[in-house]
Chain A
Amino acid sequence: MANTYHDTLRNIALVCLADAIVGASFGAITVSGGLRPWVPITMSVLVFAGGAQFAAAGVVLAGGSPAAAVVAGLVLNARLLPYGFAVADVVEGKWWTRLLGAHVIVDESVAFTLREHGRQRRRATFWACGLALFLCWNAAVVLGALAGAVMRNTGAFGLDAVFPAVLLALVLPSLADRGTRNAALLGAVIAVAATPFLPAGLPVLLALAGLVLAGRPARTVADTRPVPEEVR
């Protein structure tokens, strides 16, 4: 993709804006759902992974156990492991740059970095996206949490549709692969069917049974192949 660094920065800004909306709705939903404001704020700073935050908070708000919430969040975040290997070269440097850089490894920063070529560009893109997202995300969660404290009904604003819509937009490209799609659809059916009967958090984990339909990799995956950017 022959784009200029300027294009990259513009796209990063767009993603920051989108994530800010998501972060604000995370803060508003969790606080108006009954959690104290420090909970979503602390979680956002320390965990800094939208999907896992929504999943974990969702389990707790639905009455599930903290342990189930942690497991659901960690399973979702396991994808960060290959991400870390994919961008390890741009995080390299002093020990504290590694520690800081590791914390801003998220779907978006990895996806943008993998699109760039050349060490300098990759580094600049990773840090620009990672740091900008960290600031936008957490500022938005704080604002959302403050708004949630005075907002009686986030449902009237349709905020409860924001999280599933974002996830759907993120996951759609990876469903183009047939094995992945079959596994994902079976998993979704299992999760929804199990929801009335199981404690919150478990149905989503049960969805992993859908992996039996995943088959094998559609094409030979080279060991050095970076994480597919569609799974953001």
Chain B
Amino acid sequence: MGSNAVHRKMSRSPATALAAAFLFLFACRTAAAQMEITGSWAARNHEFLSGDGLPVDFTGIPLNEEGRIRALSYSESQLAMVERQCQGWPAFYIVQGPFGLKIWSETDPLKGNVISYIIGAWEDRAPLTIWMDGRPRPSKYAEHTRAGFTTGSWEGNTLVAYTTHMKAGFLRKTGAPSSDEAAMTTRFYRHGDILTVLAIIEDPIYLAEPWILSRSFQLSAAPLSPIGPPCITTYEGSIGQTAPHYVPEKNPFVDEMTTKYGVPRDAAIGKPETLYPEYRRKILPVAPVR
């Protein structure tokens, strides 16, 4: 059947033409419902998310009792241990670290659909690959890595990613722990040249409730590097026979947030109730220093 025959046949069938138009419009709508998120997104750092100025700053993290004990037992001298040198830069670090995001996509050469988005590495944080091709999640017994395993899908204009299979590490570099059962849902909202990333972190071992944080980036004309120096372990003076730590009740830095900034101890050690406005009722007024 030649093209003319096809044309004649379609011309004779309004329903067929309508169906074709419907499919065309639907395809356009599907494409329009997604947003371009690739590019170089510069950090602006107008929020202090890393919270790593003092050893015991777990403010804003809803730690449960086990998480708090583990956090207070942490000593930064553990960074001298080869097996612990890279634990401070998990996948969560994309919304905490001071760096921008370089995002690019891999596309199917025949179909043109996006197979994955990749958020490039930067300064010890491993690259994060968001698989968009519908591949199944690996077994819970599969290898856990620092970047974990991430799948993604579009909800309207929002890219939604879900990360599991991360190695146990830190929620915050100062020792607030994350377990290998932690999961992160990341939502990418683009508004013009602003990209806001909302991260919802769940950890049944160390968190009393999901930890929700967000960070905004600005589109940059100057390209960011797609690669960063990886975290490479090396001998730094510890032979690893013991893990430097503190007895949690005797952590010598537990009151530094209080003496330096007037932050109550309960907030500094990440008690969940301190995340909510009503906690202010419990705070004794701290006179501003003139």
Chains A and B form a bound pair: no
